[in-house]
Chains A and B, each alone.
Chain A
Amino acid sequence: MSTVHIPFLQTGTLAVGGRLLDDAERSVQSQADRPSSLTRGHRACQGCAEALAARWVMDTAVEAADGRLVVANATGCLEVFSTLYPESAWKPPWIHSLFANAAAVATGIASSLHAQGRDDVRVLAQGGDGGTVDIGLAAVSGMFERNDDVLYVCYDNQGYMNTGVQRSSATPPSARTATTPAVGRQPGAPQGTGKSMVKIAMAHEIPYVASATVADLRDLEAKVRTAMSIHGARYLHVLVPCPLGWGSSSSESISLSRAAVQSGIFPVVEARAGELTDVQRIRERMDVEAYLRPQARFAHLFKPGGEDALNRWRALAEANIRRYDLLGGRP
């Protein structure tokens, strides 16, 4: 992992900061004068992890780019809650065009800057899973294939949340959404669905692909810094719990991310040129229940008849643990 290693100071690497840290060891988010690229007053729901992840990513990218960063945003929650006309919650230069074309817009900006000899200005594109995995996939894939100099960040909340929680192709199996109700023999989203955008990105063999969560700030910041140190197409996939769509408490967005990682459901990885280079090991193993039970969209897994689906979740976690060696050889 490209995570900074912090000596034992009460809280080690897991907390945002710490009064005993040297300045060089401080995370961007622990700085009193951090950029706060996404300002207060935005209209994200209470406990929105996407708003949190976007500030974390953007602040690190702004620092890495020395303040010279342009952002293209796909349609989605992030765009809607941050830019209610005539207000904007963004500090960096920011553009929204269409749902499907954030990657293409970013490519255009990057090419234009390059043509003007402004290689000091960096370009970041971002969207939700709808704008990335479904509607914008062609543009994203094209940007990857051409190795355009863009960092594309997907904030994955596993559904179309701002339009009323419809299923996306990133919605995991058995999740209840407005379009996959928890009724019938196989309630919720069908089994075997849900794309892995991380694997799709890796298949393009672009210079850098990584996944991260809001449960590990230092890991996320380190990945953004690594991505910003590289030119060409880069992809970062961040899991962002959605209290509205997942039916979880607004205070649980961090702890659910933690449970997703510690249960093996969401592998936190890094890959270069299509090859897996690092994985974040499980620190304290949790059962999938720790992740699933707090979410109302999975409530039917804990009712009679839900056992099969629950076991499939366990199998999924086991498969991830095996595939990515998430326990690092431990039993």
Chain B
Amino acid sequence: MSGHDAPPTLGLSTGPATSLSYHTGTWRTERPVYVDLAPPCSLACPSGEDIRSWLGSTQEGEAGFETAWRRIVAANPLPAVMGRICYHPCQAACNRGEVDEEVGINAVERFLGDTALERGWALPVPTASSGRRVLVVGSGPAGLSAAYHLRQRGHDVTVREAAAEPGGMMRYGIPAYRLPRTVLAAEIRRIEATGVRIECGVRVDSLDDAQAEFDAVVLTVGAGVAHHVDIPAGAAAKIVDAIDVLRDVASGNAPLLGRRVAVYGGGNTAMDAARTARRLGASDAVVVYRRTREQMPAHPTELEDAVGEGVRVQWLSTISEVSGPTVTIERMELDESGRPVGTGVFEELDADTVMLAVGQEADLSLLSGVDDVDVRDGVIAVDPGTLMTGRDGVFAAGDASPGSRTATFAIGRGARAAAAVDAWLASRVLPAEPVVREAEASRLNAWYYSDAPKQHRAELEAARRVTGFEEVLAGLDAEHAVFEARRCMSCGSCFECDNCFGMCPDDAIRKLGPGMRYEIDYDYCKGCGICAAECPCGAIDMIPEER
């Protein structure tokens, strides 16, 4: 076969020239340019994972799994954990949702996380040491993430945890049927193996002492204290905090609840508490929530799972009195601004126990008497860019600082805090996060993506769930994980489908080989725009030619 640029072989004797000598690129009024845009999944990921790139490695099958996992842990050191408990805002943002159904990113992350644990893949261990010592207070997702990322930068990191075991709310809040403790423990051990010291049962109660011992301090103390509401209650009334029940269950001291449990609140903790009550033997678990389903802060899948396990929800209701075997409920209605107001209509609900799940607060006793660290709206005030508190060298992240109270957000902020501490230790200015262009769904040519429905994870029978704390969702096997990863449309980033190369009428695109993508020969490209129109993932811009 003749090469791409070989002159034509003609049987004529007149010495013909080749059309290669004529540069049709002069006709062009617009030029195609390859671009790399940010996909909506990554933009929506609070942990800052480069999802498209690790799905890309997963697509290669067995050979790509470890690379994929390494690309996850570049941002998030807890993929097996987050593959279970993350509310995956990435999937809500996924452009594939407009084609058929969003990519099951979370399930693939869990598959990679579990595979890494099975095969004992280790996190990178830094070779050089900075000689700087950093204390992280608290070992929840924010603390572990901050510690891991600080350690990766060569710092000497100590984590101090007041509880008996590390993990924070992942250990003591999230029920085991959502996150088996063996998985959590294994991923924490792996962080320790990089040289992070975790000291449990050690409460940090003096910021000054901590600063005397360490060069920098990161406060990730979480929000583990239950918020209270005043409800008139009789002597026989049993009122407990949902967060305490979850903690006791997680510590192996499951409390005795009644047969009929009312859970007051509408967040994810309320769902966890109601589902846990069912597992502890309550025949009836009712969530009492004062607003409507649309306004409920609990994640829709949590609500679905709870209802699937027999949990009932009493919408537009508040508990006005607890008198022992019953609670008095007032029906609410929404006013014009959507706020619930009492209707004066009351009813009785059989409930021998009431669990309060009306919010949590940060335990900031460490900061009592510290007047240069501001506390605003119940959380530690920080500089939004550097996450540094009012005191030099003291940073804060996670639920005890402003922002969304989810594990994925905490991991992202922990990483950000680590970068900020690192910059501060070196007296560098932390660069602002770069502004990126989003690969919007309108750029895609969905025709090229084959019809491929999401691989649904097998769920345990709802009836089986309430008998114990075994895990509810099963994982994907390798074949299905690869299939699911291949559903990724690689929004805004060339994945070498060869459409531009194959469909150029002017033969003006060169294929550079695996992983090298393509090159446009502007001497010949006429600027027709077919490559941009037929690029499945929107990785080509047409820009006006300057004259």
Contacts and interface: CB of A to CB of B under 8 A. Distances in A.
A3 to B, nearest CB: 14
Interface string B510-531: 1111110000010110111110
Interface of A: 8-20, 27, 29-36, 38-44, 46-49, 51-52, 55, 62-63, 67, 82, 84, 86-94, 214, 217, 243, 249-255, 258, 284
17 contacts: A10-B487, A14-B448, A16-B498, A17-B497, A19-B514, A30-B511, A33-B3, A39-B18, A40-B521, A41-B18, A41-B23, A42-B19, A47-B528, A48-B505, A48-B528, A251-B528, A254-B533
Given A10-B449, A11-B449, A94-B10, A41 B524 contact: yes
Interface string B10-40: 1100111111111110010000000000000
Top 8 A-B residue pairs of the complex, sorted by shortest distance between their CB atoms: A17-B498, A16-B502, A251-B529, A12-B450, A41-B19, A29-B502, A47-B528, A89-B19
A40 B498 contact: no
B450 to A, nearest CB: 3
Interface string B474-518: 000000000100111110000111110111111110111111000
* Highest count of chain A CB atoms <10 Å: which of B11, B496, B506, B514: B506
B528 A11 contact: no
B506 A10 contact: no
* Highest count of chain B CB atoms <10 Å: which of A20, A27, A43, A90: A20
A34 B1 CA distance: 8
A89 B8 contact: yes
B483 A8 contact: yes
A255 B502 contact: no
Contacts of A55: 505, 507
Contacts of B515: 19
Given A41-B23, A82-B19, A10 B59 contact: yes
B176 interface: no
A93 B502 CA distance: 23
A249 B542 CA distance: 14
Contacts of B450: 8, 10-14
Contacts of A44: 505-506
Given A29-B502, A51-B505, 8 more contacts: A10-B495, A16-B502, A18-B497, A19-B497, A46-B27, A87-B18, A89-B18, A254-B530
B490 A10 contact: yes
B6 interface: yes
B513 to A, nearest CB: 7
B452 interface: yes
B4 A250 contact: no
Contacts of B447: 14, 258, 284
B529 A20 contact: no
A280 to B, nearest CB: 15
A49 B505 contact: yes
Given A16-B502, A29-B501, A91-B8, A36 B60 contact: no
B2 interface: yes
Contacts of B495: 10, 18-19
Contacts of A253: 505, 528, 530
B20 A41 contact: yes
A217 B506 CA distance: 16
A27 B511 CA distance: 14
B532 interface: yes
B272 to A, nearest CB: 37
